[in-house]
Amino acid sequence: MSDDKKRDDFAIEMGERKGSSYDSPLISPRPAAPAPMAPPAGNPILPVLSYCGSSILMTVTNKFVLSGTGFNLNFFLLAVQSIVCVIAIQTCKSSNLITYRDFNSDEARKWFPVSLLLIGTIYTSTKALQFLSIPVYTIFKNLTIILIAYGEVLWFGGSVTAMALFSFGLMVLSSVIAAWADVQHALQSFGHESDAASAKVSTLNAGYMWMMFNCFCSAAYVLYMRKRIKLTNFKDFDTMFYNNVLSIPILLACSLFVENWSSENLSLNFPADRRNNLIMAMVFSGLSSVFISYTSAWCVRVTSSTTYSMVGALNKLPIALSGLIFFDAPVTVPSVSAIGVGFISGIVYALAKVRQSSKPKTGVLPTSNPPMSASSQSARDSFKS
């Protein structure tokens, strides 16, 4: 969900290098401020592990909150995450750890449609994660890559190679296996004719429906963001700041007017024995989006783009396994097979992108178009992890 707010090409501007230090980047005519601290360079193992850990932390904490009995304050959850994120990055900016633009009403007006699409993306993400297990959610999230890829082909002159097309087939296959495994497990656990089995299957169907909406919203968000970002020339922390600031009033309004704020419903959503843990998890889930942004910048700085692409593909496996470890996701041969096929599809897709970037774009399927820009590539890959 909050991970939907990030992009893969994170970079922190450091200005020109002189000796062993960097000048502050020239952002405006005002007096130069101290250069923001860059992620420490060195051994790539630590940033890669930090990035994977941040991704797992966000997914697990969101699932912990949403898996509560009868939790239905999804808009409130997203509002809390956005508020925490804004406070965190503003604190980092005040401490010269990161830099981003100050709020500008004209830029906000241009970016507002993107924030609306983001709200649709993260809301449908919470609903899908609420009804589905983490492994199934992770597997189905791969389908967003297919929509983004063909959106690039249709509207931005992208291309799909035969190897990428094969990876798309594996992604669809893994999703079919995961859905079949979920339904079969429900029927076998509760009995084919029981009311409990029917209720469980209905819950899964609702999850698949929300997952479908999420895939389309996610693809629309990424594709439209690519078009709008040319008008604003936002960097990554600019995008994070404006996305969250513009989302907060809408999320709060939706929560106040759409969701049930009666004392009975609040007690249902925040039972006394879990209240403190739920509040801490909501705060952590907001901070995790900042952690992912920072560790992504760190990974990009100390590894090659090829390595980072592979890390994004490999990261699918520990996220899926976290659902088996921390929650009661069913561990069956079909479910494990679905995770394996989804994992392989991510590896094949990453390899396809590496091969595509290392040779001229000729003989591609299903169309052949001019090469896409680096920003287009980053936007397409933003939902791989």
pLDDT by residue for the chain (385 residues), tens digit each?
545 554 444 444 444 444 444 444 444 455 554 545 544 445 677 888 888 888 888 888 888 888 866 789 999 999 999 999 999 999 989 998 888 899 999 999 989 999 999 999 999 999 999 898 888 998 898 898 889 888 888 888 878 888 989 989 999 999 999 989 888 887 777 766 677 778 888 888 999 999 999 999 999 998 898 888 877 888 878 888 999 999 999 999 999 999 999 999 998 888 888 888 888 988 988 888 788 777 776 776 776 655 666 677 777 788 888 888 888 777 888 888 988 998 898 888 888 888 877 765 544 445 444 444 444 444 444 444 4
Compute CA distances 122 → 95, 116, 126, 214, whole Å: 29, 10, 6, 8
Quick one: pLDDT at residue 383?
46
Quick one: pLDDT at residue 172?
93
Core vs surface per residue 155-175: b (16+ CB within 10 A) or e: ebbbbbbebbeebbebbebbb
Compute CA distances 147 → 150, 212, 241, 256, 313, whole Å: 5, 11, 26, 33, 17
Residue 142 · residue 315 · CB < 8 Å = no
Compute CA distances 374 → 17, 204, 352, whole Å: 24, 38, 16
Core vs surface per residue 102-112: b (16+ CB within 10 A) or e: eeeeebeebbe
Angle between helices 195-232 and 236-258 (to 10 degrees): 140
Q: Which residues pair with 18 in a beta bridge?
A: 21
pTM: 0.77
Tell me whether residue 272 is exposed, middle or buried, using C-beta atoms within 10 angstroms of its C-beta: 0 to 12, 13 to 18, 19 or more.
Answer: exposed
Quick one: pLDDT at residue 74?
93
Say whether 183 sits in a helix, a strand or coil.
Answer: helix
Q: Which residues contact 219 (CB under 8 A, 6 or more apart)?
A: 144, 147, 148, 151
Quick one: pLDDT at residue 120?
95
Residue 88 · residue 293 · CB < 8 Å = no
Quick one: pLDDT at residue 66?
87
Say whether 358 sits in a helix, a strand or coil.
Answer: coil
Quick one: pLDDT at residue 329?
76
